[in-house]
A and B are shown apart, each in its own frame.
Chain A
Amino acid sequence: MNRADKIGYGVSGALHVGAILWIVTGGQWFFPKKSEPVVISQVAVMSEQDFNALMASAPKDAPQPSPEPVAPTAPATPSETPAPEAPAPETQATPEPKPQELPDPAPEPDAQPDVAALQAPPAPTEVTEVPPEMLPPVEQPSETVTPEISAKPKPKPAPRVAPTPAPEPPPEAKISDQAQPQETPDETAPADKVVEQPKDAAAPPEATTEIVTEATETVDKQESSAPMSSPRPSGKPKPPAPKPTETAAASKPEASKPAAPKPDTPAKPVDTASVNDALAAALGGAGTGGTGDAPVGPPITAGEKDALIVDVKRCWNVGALSSDALRTTVTLSVDMQPDGHPIISSIRLVGSSGGSGAAVDQAFEAGKRAIVRCGSDGFPLPPEKYGRWKTIEIDFNPEKMRMK
């Protein structure tokens, strides 16, 4: 055993001995203190009649207790003395101890409202006075709150609304210094148009583009966007990327010159797209071979699917279906137009289960009515993914709609 071990054993032994001693002797100092017993004071409950009787006999002494509370003002000075002071008034009012006790345990204001409340006439008047006092404070906070609320929203809408109408020119000028001064201002002679075009070119300004495209997209994009989106999935990403910028830039100058440029550039793509759409509509889209013509786009998202389901199910009325039809699941197929409208003549039954022939017919008619009714306004489907919803198959499963 070397020296280090000896030291270790020594320290360990000392600690153990200390711990044992602490356990044996220390506990005495750490025993929990016994909680003081709860003092329970008995309170006698007296009826209102008894109290009234006491009070009726008390008025003569009433003037006496009033000076008494003056004497108890002493309690403010010594905290311990209230007990000895209390007996003194009690002895003075020995014939009626209870009314004297009322001022003692509680401060004066408690005793006074009690007596006042016992007197029938004043009590209702006080109650009536209270509500009018409450009303004004209610009004005041409401007034203070409203300006705070109104002040906050104001600044929020301000920045959103402001950029679109007026503040555009100044930022445009700055942006045009960076990107456009090379070409566009020189080519376009009119000053006003030159200023506007750089905005569009630099125009990621989202608010303006969105608003403008909402109004014009349906016309413009049908012409130009179909070829733009279709090559993306199959072809390379870069070639189409510059095209949209060019076409977008070109389309807006064209907007100022509506007649000439439109027939020039987009003539061919517009024709092919519209012809393809018309063919798809006319032929019922029964596997129109070239999926490459229709924009396929990314897969349909769950949210887009849910939106379609919600739109269809609100028109699927099973209230008039027979009980047999309510046990029948039918699958309907419908070909769609690019604008989201179903081709009614293409609605067909592609499968059924669980019902007889008549029940299948009824279930099919109910499903067809749902498609026709809610499809009359067009289903909420992304046009850029038309290739993915050119044909839709819908299972109408009334399992949850059966008799309760």
Chain B
Amino acid sequence: MMRFVLSMLVALLLGPVAALAQDQEPLHITITDGVIEPLPFAIAGFIPETGDAGELATQISQVISGDLTGTGLFREIPSSAYIQNITSFETPVKYSDWQAINAQALVVGSVAMQGGKVVVKFRLFDVFSGQQMGDGQQLAASPASWRRLAHKVADVIYSRITGEGPYFDSRVVFVSESGPKDARQKRLAVMDYDGANVTYLTDASTIVLAPRFSRDGTKVLYTTFETGFPRIKMLDVATASARLLPEVPGTMTFAPRFSPDGTKIVYSLEQNGNTDLWMMDVASGQTQRLTTSPSIETSPSFSPDGSRIVFESDRSGTQQLYIMPVQGGDATRISFGDGRYSTPVWSPRGDMIAFTKQNQGRFHIGVMRTDGSEERLLTSSFLDEGPTWSPNGRVIMFTRESPGAEGQASLYSVDISGRNLKKVPTPGPASDPAWSPLLP
């Protein structure tokens, strides 16, 4: 009885305390739905600090704006809506003026010509937080490289806001096509990721296919038919000089790709009607057979750490994707969906694999986890194929060909979310894109 009375007293005493404690707890809510819309930003002009930098300042500002809006993640607020007129790089920012036009990020910069070089300074502000995002930066380059300067600035802005790695300052090697479909001429070309500064690396005397950048971006592997049969060539981008890789007589080699460290090449070799994967040491030319299946194995791609290789094989009866150790050996099938899978490419992040899928008469570009889970198809058309990853693993570029005798191949890019599908401008028909790593 005594215990009961005591417990009741304790309960009476502690009750209000508990209630008070409950009152003092903060209100807790959970937000699981938001909005997905481009983040509005403003570029308060890149102010020319020297008299000869006026035009360059305008061009740099345009390239930065194009880079950011081209991602589909940003929306530029037109300058006509600006309230504050920033006339100097040191002008203090009136956040309220930029909040009023709903600018969430503000870029303030300047351009000057100093010592024969273009010098660009910029700052990035989080308007609603009322503070600068990161430190201001200053970059310098030759006037001929002003586009790279702009891409670098855009990369910094993009990375600070999104948290993704940069990719604007990169290049794409591709096959430039011309002529009718039955007599198509193909030659290698390289351009900025946005289609600017196209440079041709080969002439149209022979058909070339499937170029692939080395990890440092200085070399390109591709398949050429100059001997009448497919063979692998390695081209130096700086000098545009190329050399054939050693081969075994009576064989055909194709679908090459560099290892992450650039010391090895994995490729397909056809001999006596059977195609298997082989690996070659670039320095010594020594080769190693990786697969011995009677089926066709091709389109190998290294994992970023160089420990595994993903490839396509029809050993199960249809084209499917497999992963095996870099030394060869047992392969694990990772694709099990309907249709045929081909041209797998490992993401630079290492977490996903992009592929081409053919199903029910349609071609798709898709991505999946390295274990084959979470497959998502990003595109669908008459013919989509040959994906390549941007250096940050956020964007995929690929070839899309339109149907019919007049059909042409074009380059397209798409965000891995499936949004922002857009055509990449090229001088003419183009195919087989391969994205370079981020330029130094």
Contacts and interface: CB of A to CB of B under 8 A. Distances in A.
Given A316-B35, A318-B36, 11 more contacts: A312-B31, A316-B33, A317-B104, A319-B36, A319-B38, A320-B74, A344-B129, A369-B128, A390-B26, A401-B33, A404-B418
Interface in B27-46: 27-39
Contacts of A57: none
A388 interface: yes
B18 to A, nearest CB: 14
Given A325-B163, A393-B26, A401 B34 contact: yes
Task: List the 8 closest pairs (A to B, CB-CB), nearest first.
Answer: A316-B34, A362-B163, A391-B26, A322-B163, A395-B30, A319-B36, A320-B39, A372-B128
Contact of A393 (B24, B28, B126): B28
Most interface-central of B31, B39, B73 (chain A CB within 10 A): B31
B99 interface: yes
B333 interface: no
B188 to A, nearest CB: 32
Contacts of A184: none
Contact of A365 (B30, B33, B34, B126): B126
Nearest to A350: B26
A96 B416 CA distance: 78
Nearest to B73: A320
Contact of A300 (B27, B35, B36): B27
Contact of A291 (B23, B27, B161, B394): B23
A394 B417 contact: no
B95 to A, nearest CB: 10
A366 to B, nearest CB: 8
Most interface-central of A287, A365, A376, A396 (chain B CB within 10 A): A365
Interface of B: 20, 23-24, 26-39, 73-74, 99, 104, 126, 128-130, 161-164, 376, 394, 416-418
Contact of A324 (B35, B163, B376): B163
A85 to B, nearest CB: 68
Given A362-B162, A395-B28, A395-B29, A370 B20 contact: no
A392 B37 CA distance: 26
Interface string A360-386: 011001011110110010000000000
19 contacts: A287-B24, A305-B27, A316-B35, A317-B36, A317-B37, A320-B73, A320-B74, A362-B162, A368-B128, A369-B128, A373-B128, A389-B27, A394-B30, A394-B31, A398-B34, A400-B32, A401-B34, A401-B36, A403-B417
Contacts of B99: 376
B31 A397 contact: yes
A313 interface: yes
A313 B162 contact: no
B29 A394 contact: yes
B163 A313 contact: no
A359 B418 CA distance: 21
A355 B31 CA distance: 17
A333 B162 CA distance: 22
Interface of A: 287, 291, 296, 300, 305, 308-309, 312-325, 333, 344, 358-359, 361-362, 365, 367-370, 372-373, 376, 387-401, 403-404
A362 B28 CA distance: 21
B34 A317 contact: yes
Given A291-B23, A403-B418, A320 B38 contact: yes
Nearest to A359: B163
Contacts of B23: 291, 296, 387-388
Nearest to A333: B26
B39 A308 contact: no
A322 B160 CA distance: 11
A313 B31 contact: yes
Contacts of A393: 26-29
A321 B31 contact: no
Contacts of A361: 163
Most interface-central of A300, A312, A317, A367 (chain B CB within 10 A): A317
B27 A392 contact: yes
Given A291-B23, A393-B26, A318 B417 contact: no
Contacts of B24: 287, 291
B390 to A, nearest CB: 13
Nearest to B40: A317
Nearest to B128: A372
Contacts of B162: 320-322, 325, 362
A404 B36 CA distance: 12
A397 B418 contact: no
A300 B29 CA distance: 11
A236 to B, nearest CB: 15
Contacts of B73: 319-320
Contacts of A392: 26-29
A154 B122 CA distance: 64
Most interface-central of B162, B376, B418 (chain A CB within 10 A): B162
Nearest to A288: B24
A362 B39 CA distance: 13
B348 to A, nearest CB: 13
A397 B34 CA distance: 9
Contacts of B31: 309, 312-313, 316, 367, 370, 394-397
Contacts of A394: 28-31
Contacts of B161: 320
A401 to B, nearest CB: 6
Contacts of A359: 163
A323 B27 contact: no
A401 B37 CA distance: 12
Given A362-B163, A404-B418, A308 B29 contact: yes
A373 to B, nearest CB: 6
B104 A369 contact: yes
Contacts of A323: 164, 394, 416-417
A280 to B, nearest CB: 13
A361 B27 CA distance: 23
A367 B129 CA distance: 11
A251 to B, nearest CB: 29
A324 B394 CA distance: 11
B395 to A, nearest CB: 12
A305 B34 contact: no
A368 B129 contact: yes
A312 B29 contact: yes
Most interface-central of A318, A322, A373, A398 (chain B CB within 10 A): A322
Contacts of A314: 35
Contacts of A376: 99
B163 A319 contact: no
Contacts of B39: 317, 319-320
A300 B265 CA distance: 65
A404 B26 CA distance: 34
A396 B24 CA distance: 22
Contacts of A368: 128-129
A309 B376 CA distance: 31
Contacts of B417: 323, 403-404
Most interface-central of A325, A389, A403 (chain B CB within 10 A): A403
B163 A399 contact: no
A401 B32 CA distance: 8
A328 to B, nearest CB: 9
